[in-house]
């Protein structure tokens, strides 16, 4: 495991390291990216979830952008939490940014927030999630099953159960909904 | 005979295939019972309900359990790549599958070499990977909503999550987004765009729009797009061409709203229950219009 760790570190340090100050962590799947983001946010590292460069896209991907200077500490922290990125790559081209535009629709008794292809709706009086729609990845029906019927304050966060970009998009809509509903 | 391919939100659900029946609020396939919620089960339930109302064909399904980890989808991609030649279908609808590019690229040639080649409809996760592969134009119909249409219009986005902000996801921009999707070769031959106004498009030409009756609440209800895809599948299997099937499916889906009188908390099964009434209403009008045109 340690050898693998140093190999990855070496790969980065010999590739382009002088020309860039940001790198990306590539993981096996989106669930691992979400876990890694949670860990790095907790440690207050300036890490951002982004889209992978075209040459390493496989289908339903996220990567974590991070300052290369913090690479050693970050890999160590992830390893302590049982996470190992598949690749650590310096950024040499621009990354795709996650969607950051939200649409809100007020149905009088209900409020719906849409982020990209995902929508979440609550009953305003009871603050209960009444519907989740949109999306196309297989965790959407699963997330809907887990969240619909629960109060916003008691429902699990989509990021804790989701495994795909649709799950992550639902998390963004959910966060926006929470912000909108704050007194 | 039509087939629908997709997933069930239960990680222990095995890979199964066969004819599907609807019993109350559940689907039955082999010895397995699946509650009709959103996603592929909703699409199947809508197709079955419509088929029963019209005396149509049985619906075949290929299903696997997947809660987003991709394992179930991967098994299904592999099974289909190796075995689809053993089956014969007129229509195949790809639905909630984990988008996995390399598997898509193995699967598509296997389906295209079926004899006769079936009509290929893609929705949900499979539409995402079809677009990402750069081979969208090889499909017959895509069924995006407005957010997904913006994704098809953005030649750089591998998933709706990355649709760039300057490509506005607003209904008023739909014609521009449609044109952009076709120009970038990121559209199927035909599109059924689901929204406040549904657009039926063939080869970059808007053939029809459907916006009546209109129920804003339906946008919030999970599964309304899935039921629309199920209706489209069944109507294609009944012999309607893709454009007419898309128009009739869009109208029928709206009329389920008229009969169910939904609010944003309604669940998709309430709308699916109304499919027979809605379908007969729409088809009666269709026949009357055809007769009037002839006279």
Q: What is the domain extent for residue A126?
A: 102-181
Q: What's the pLDDT score for residue A90?
A: 83
For position B160, what pLDDT does the model report? 85
Residue A96 lies in a domain: no
Domain ends where: A67, A90, A113?
A90
CA of B9: which chain A residue's CA is closest? A142
Whether cis (ω within 30° of 0) applies to the bond prior to B3 is no
Taking the CA of residue B282 and the nearest CA in chain A, the distance in Å comes to 25
Query: Is the predicted pLDDT of residue B224 greater than 90, yes or no?
Result: yes
Interchain contact, A96 vs B158, CB within 8 Å = yes
For the stretch A34-51, pLDDT in tens is: 889 989 888 888 888 888
Kindly list the structural domains of chain B, giving each domain's residue range(s) and its CATH number in brackets, ordered by start.
2-294 (3.40.1190.20)
Contacts of B226 (CB under 8 A, 6+ apart): B38, B39, B40, B42, B43, B46, B95, B123, B124, B268
Q: Which of A111, A108, A115 is nearest to A131 (CA)?
A: A111
Shared domain check, A86 and A126: no
Domain stop point among A68, A90, A112 = A90
Q: Are residues A86 and A107 in the same domain?
A: no
DSSP A151: B
Residue B291 has pLDDT above 90, yes or no: no
**Distances from the Cα of B114 to the Cα of B17, B117, B120, B135, B234, angstroms:** 18, 5, 11, 18, 20
Is A120 found in the same domain as A59? no
How many structural domains comprise chain A? 2
Q: Is the predicted pLDDT of residue A16 greater than 60, yes or no?
A: no
**pLDDT tens column, A134-183:** 999 999 999 999 999 999 999 999 988 988 888 888 999 999 999 988 77
Q: Within this chain, do residues A80 and A117 fall inside the same structural domain, yes or no?
A: no
Nearest residue of A to residue B101, measured between CA atoms:
A59
* A11/A84 same-domain check: yes
pTM (2 d.p.): 0.87
Whether residue A174 is found in the same domain as residue A107 = yes
Q: Is B115 exposed, middle or buried (0-12, 13-18, 19+ CB in 10 A)?
A: exposed
Cβ contact B222–A148 (<8 Å): yes
Domain co-membership, A129 together with A51? no
Q: Are residues A130 and A166 in the same domain?
A: yes
User: B-contacting residues of A 77-106, CB under 8 Å?
Assistant: 96-101, 103, 105
- Backbone torsions φ then ψ of A72, nearest 5 degrees: -60, -50
**Residues of chain A positioned with their CB less than 8 A from the CB of B173:** none
| Whether A140 and B98 lie within 8 Å, measured CB to CB | no
Both A11 and A77 in one domain: the answer is: yes
Nearest-CA distance B146 → chain A (Å): 8
> Is A68 in the same domain as A142?
no
Closest residue, chain B, to A130 (C-alpha): B265
């Amino acid at each position: 495991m340690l050898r693998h760790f140093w190999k990855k570190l070496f790969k980065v340090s010999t590739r382009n390291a002088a020309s860039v100050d940001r790198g990306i962590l590539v993981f096996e799947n989106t669930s691992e990216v979400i876990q890694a983001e949670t860990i790095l946010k907790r440690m207050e590292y300036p890490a951002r979830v982004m889209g992978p460069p075209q040459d390493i896209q496989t289908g339903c991907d996220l990567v974590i952008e991070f300052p290369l200077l913090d690479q050693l500490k970050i890999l160590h922290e992830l390893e302590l939490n049982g996470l190992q990125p598949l690749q650590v790559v310096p950024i040499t081209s621009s990354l795709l940014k996650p969607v950051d535009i939200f649409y809100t629709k007020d149905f009088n008794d209900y409020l719906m927030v849409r982020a990209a292809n995902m929508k979440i709706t609550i009953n305003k009086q009871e603050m209960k999630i009444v519907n989740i729609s949109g999306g196309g990845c297989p965790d959407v029906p699963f997330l809907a099953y887990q969240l619909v019927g629960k109060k916003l304050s008691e429902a699990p966060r989509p990021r804790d159960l989701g495994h795909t970009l649709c799950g992550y998009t639902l998390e963004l809509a959910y966060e926006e909904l929470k912000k909108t509903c704050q007194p | 005979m039509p087939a629908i391919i997709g997933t069930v939100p239960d990680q222990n659900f095995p890979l199964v295939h066969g004819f599907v029946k609807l019993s109350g609020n559940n689907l039955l396939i082999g010895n397995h019972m699946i509650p009709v919620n959103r996603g592929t089960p909703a699409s199947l339930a809508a197709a079955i309900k419509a088929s029963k109302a019209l005396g149509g064909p049985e619906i075949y399904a290929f299903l696997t359990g997947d809660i987003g980890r991709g394992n179930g989808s991967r098994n299904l991609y592999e099974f289909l790549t190796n075995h689809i030649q053993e089956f014969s279908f007129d229509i195949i609808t790809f639905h909630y599958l984990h988008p996995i590019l390399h598997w898509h690229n193995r699967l598509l040639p296997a389906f295209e070499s079926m004899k006769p080649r079936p009509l290929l409809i893609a929705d949900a996760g499979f539409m995402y990977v079809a677009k990402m592969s750069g081979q969208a134009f090889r499909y017959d119909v895509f069924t995006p909503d407005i957010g997904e249409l913006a994704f098809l219009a953005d030649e750089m986005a591998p998933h709706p999550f990355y649709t760039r902000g300057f490509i506005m996801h607003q209904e008023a921009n739909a014609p521009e987004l449609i044109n952009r999707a076709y120009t970038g070769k990121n559209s199927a031959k035909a599109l059924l765009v689901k929204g406040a106004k549904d657009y039926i498009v063939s080869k970059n030409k808007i053939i029809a729009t459907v916006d009546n009756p209109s129920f804003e609440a339906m946008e919030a209800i999970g599964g309304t797009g899935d039921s629309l895809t199920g209706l489209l599948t069944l109507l294609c299997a009944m012999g309607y061409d893709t454009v007419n099937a898309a128009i009739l499916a869009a109208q029928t889906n709206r009329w389920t709203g008229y009969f169910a009188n939904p609010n944003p908390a309604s669940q998709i099964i309430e709308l699916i229950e109304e499919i027979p009434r809605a379908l007969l209403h729409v088809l009666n009008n269709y026949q009357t219009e055809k007769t009037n045109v002839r006279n």
